[in-house]
A and B are shown apart, each in its own frame.
Chain A
Amino acid sequence: MTARRVPFAVSATAVVTYAFLHLPLLVLIAFSFNRSRFGVQWGGFTLDWYARLAFRPDILRAMRLSLVVGLLSTLLATAMGTLAAVALARYLPRARRAAGGLLYLPIVTPEIVAGVSLLVLFSWMGIALGITTIVIAHTAFSIPFVTVVVLARLQGTDHTLEEAAMSLGADELSTFRRVTLPQLMPGVLAGALLAFTLSFDDFVTTFFVSGVGSTTLPLAVYSMVRKSVEPTINALSALLVMVTTVAVYLADRLARGSTRA
């Protein structure tokens, strides 16, 4: 489809779409380097607002909590999501359609419904809200994403290699460890990066399952935004955007590499 000329209206709409998608964040990032405190006049370049973040104990604490939650839930979701993908692709091919329901349901359920339902569950079970409940919730919404990414990778791998290993006398565990897993690795890493990004950025679910003293970075940003609009929020937002962009870029490279292989 590359040879045809694109009508002007089509390219014009594409330009509008890309401007709409990216200008607001680019403006935000640009103004995080703006010296003037109030408003939109350009007062010269500064890194002051970033430096200020380093002296905000509440933000540093929130950042640390977000990292810990992100790492724990990524580890759990990647392990369980990868195993589930292998099960669906290799052992339960006929169950895939049915399991798809349980897998895709969390992706299409509005996040606020999942969030309040977890709040009700935890209060019903008498579990105090805090870092544990946040990790449980983030793991739950990340598993389907990991499974979907790894499943896509599994479809591209060669099943006969595993059969060869088995016929050469490898048992199932060492076949999995030495043949299946290395082939899957790019998909697993891509899934892990996406799980981390989902957790690190999550606001809605965390809002409902966090307790006093367990403020993640997005929760801190929310309470700052509700209070006022100030350049430190721009700096913090810019940092968040950069972390996400790098993670997604890496995940994208890994996933792309897997389709080429």
Chain B
Amino acid sequence: MRRGILRWIARHPRSPGALLLGPGGLWLLAFFLLPILILLVYSVMPRGAYGGVQPGFTLEHYRRFLDPLYLGILRRTIWLSFLCTLACLLLAYPTAFYIARSGPRRNLFLFLAVLPFWTSSLVRTYAMIFLLRDSGLINRALMDAGLIQLPLRLLYTEGAVLAGLVYGALPFMILPIYASIEKLDPALLEAAEGLGARSWSRFTRVVWPLTAPGVAAGSLLVFVPSLGSFVVPDLLGGARQMMIGNLIQNQFGPSRNWPFGSAAAFAVMALVLVAMLGVLRMKGLDDEHGTSKGRGA
């Protein structure tokens, strides 16, 4: 499809469409697509001196992931991203519902839900440190209340990383779910009620299936960035809670092994692709399900 546009533009180089799309399209090709292709090439070349590469072809960088150390990092990355998605879903679904029904204050609530998305992830991670560290607000309050004598270890734990990930990702889950709830036709609920459905079965048989696309989109938007996160595990997790983002940074930074770092980046991209295909498949099945049902009715 994309080649289709390029061919079209090549055939009509002076058409206004091509001229207008040209600069932005070329910028993205040169500074987004091309670099990722170069990264792919780097990931299969032997390591050279000072982080560079040597001519040749090798899969050794991908094979290194079979090492238990890196498998562990991969497993932790997937597990934490999954937990983060689940936690976001549990918090965001009721919240989106609440926003949809908050009447005149809806725009304010929506704005407040989206605002964190635009705030620096760094600043928000720092806010978490401020609360969670040994002399932070939570430990101080618990100690002043006499509930504990020594500060609890909150920072540099898996829980801290999870809290940081959820904190950053929540808006991405709230928005798509809100969009699908807002489209929900109230008449359908009234019909279900009129036909004798209780609130729980109204939810499971009407509301949930109709908002599933929003849930799928939100889960994708939360799961994907979590897979590549780097600031949160770096500042809240420390050395023991490394995720694959930290591994990539390490290889491009102090370890100076760019080809292995490139392979790690492509491991992330592969996970992203699997997640996206999974969600698209789910959606596809849903559509088929929906049309066959529609035909039956």
The residues of A with any CB-CB pair to B shorter than 8 Å are 1-4, 6-7, 9-11, 13-14, 16-18, 20-22, 24-25, 27-28, 31, 38-40, 76, 79-81, 83-84, 86-88, 90-92, 95, 97-99, 101-103, 105-106, 108-114, 116-121, 124, 136-137, 139-140, 143-144, 147, 172, 194, 197, 201, 203-204, 207-208, 218, 221-222, 225-226, 229, 233-234, 237, 240-241, 244-245, 247-249, 252, 256
A2, A13, A112, A237 — which one has the most chain B CB atoms within 10 A of its CB?
A112
A83 touches B20 (CB 8 A): yes
Counting from the closest, the 5 A-B pairs by CB-CB distance are A110-B228, A91-B17, A87-B20, A117-B35, A80-B24
Chain A, interface SS category:
helix
Interface string of B59-102 (1 = CB under 8 A from A): 00000000000000000000000000000001110110111110
Can you list 29 A-B pairs, Cβ within 8 angstroms, ordered by A?
A1-B182, A17-B94, A17-B170, A18-B95, A20-B170, A22-B112, A27-B127, A28-B126, A80-B23, A84-B24, A84-B25, A87-B17, A87-B20, A87-B21, A91-B15, A95-B8, A97-B1, A102-B29, A108-B276, A109-B36, A114-B36, A116-B252, A117-B265, A119-B252, A120-B35, A121-B38, A144-B28, A208-B252, A256-B107
In the complex, which residues of chain A have a beta carbon less than 8 angstroms from the beta carbon of B224? 108, 110
Within 8 A of A (CB), among B103-130: 103, 107, 111-116, 118-130
B167 touches A21 (CB 8 A): yes
Interface size on B, as a range, is 35 or more
| Interface presence of B254 (CB below 8 A) | no
Closest to B203 in A: A7
In the complex, which residues of chain A have a beta carbon less than 8 angstroms from the beta carbon of B25? 84, 99, 102
In the complex, which residues of chain A have a beta carbon less than 8 angstroms from the beta carbon of B98? 6, 10-11, 13-14
In the complex, which residues of chain A have a beta carbon less than 8 angstroms from the beta carbon of B28? 102-103, 106, 140, 143-144
A1 touches B135 (CB 8 A): no
Q: In whole angstroms, how far apart are the Cα atoms of A91 and B35 in the complex?
A: 29
In the complex, which residues of chain B have a beta carbon less than 8 angstroms from the beta carbon of A247? 118
A113 touches B129 (CB 8 A): no
Closest to B182 in A: A1
Given contacts A6-B101, A109-B269, contact A137 B124 (CB under 8 A): no
Within 8 A of A (CB), among B251-295: 252, 258, 261-262, 265, 268-269, 272, 276
A80 touches B27 (CB 8 A): yes
What distance in Å separates the Cβ of B256 from its nearest Cβ neighbour in chain A? Answer: 12
| Interface presence of B180 (CB below 8 A) | no
A248 touches B118 (CB 8 A): yes
Q: In whole angstroms, how far apart are the Cα atoms of A21 and B118 in the complex?
A: 12
What distance in Å separates the Cβ of A122 from its nearest Cβ neighbour in chain B? Answer: 9
B21 touches A203 (CB 8 A): no
Q: In whole angstroms, how far apart are the Cα atoms of A105 and B35 in the complex?
A: 13
B258 touches A120 (CB 8 A): yes
The residues of B with any CB-CB pair to A shorter than 8 Å are 1-2, 4-5, 8, 15-21, 23-25, 27-29, 31-36, 38-39, 42, 90-92, 94-95, 97-101, 103, 107, 111-116, 118-131, 133, 135-137, 140-141, 166-167, 170-171, 174, 181-182, 184, 186, 189, 199, 220-221, 224-225, 227-231, 235, 245, 248-249, 252, 258, 261-262, 265, 268-269, 272, 276
Q: In whole angstroms, how far apart are the Cα atoms of A101 and B280 in the complex?
A: 14
What distance in Å separates the Cβ of B278 from its nearest Cβ neighbour in chain A? Answer: 14
What distance in Å separates the Cβ of A26 from its nearest Cβ neighbour in chain B? Answer: 9
Q: In whole angstroms, how far apart are the Cα atoms of A235 and B27 in the complex?
A: 37
Given contacts A80-B24, A97-B1, A143-B27, contact A240 B123 (CB under 8 A): yes
Q: In whole angstroms, how far apart are the Cα atoms of A112 and B230 in the complex?
A: 7
Closest to A11 in B: B98
In the complex, which residues of chain A have a beta carbon less than 8 angstroms from the beta carbon of B225? 110-111
What distance in Å separates the Cβ of B62 from its nearest Cβ neighbour in chain A? Answer: 16
A10, A38, A226 — which one has the most chain B CB atoms within 10 A of its CB?
A10
A13's partner among B16, B95, B167, B228 (CB-CB below 8 A) is B95
Q: In whole angstroms, how far apart are the Cα atoms of A208 and B262 in the complex?
A: 13
Q: In whole angstroms, how far apart are the Cα atoms of A185 and B87 in the complex?
A: 39
B123's partner among A13, A25, A79 (CB-CB below 8 A) is A25
In the complex, which residues of chain A have a beta carbon less than 8 angstroms from the beta carbon of B125? 225
In the complex, which residues of chain A have a beta carbon less than 8 angstroms from the beta carbon of B29? 102
Q: In whole angstroms, how far apart are the Cα atoms of A218 and B268 in the complex?
A: 24
What distance in Å separates the Cβ of A194 from its nearest Cβ neighbour in chain B? Answer: 8
Q: In whole angstroms, how far apart are the Cα atoms of A90 and B276 in the complex?
A: 30
Q: In whole angstroms, how far apart are the Cα atoms of A197 and B224 in the complex?
A: 22
A241's partner among B1, B119, B261, B272 (CB-CB below 8 A) is B119
In the complex, which residues of chain B have a beta carbon less than 8 angstroms from the beta carbon of A120? 35, 38-39, 42, 258, 262
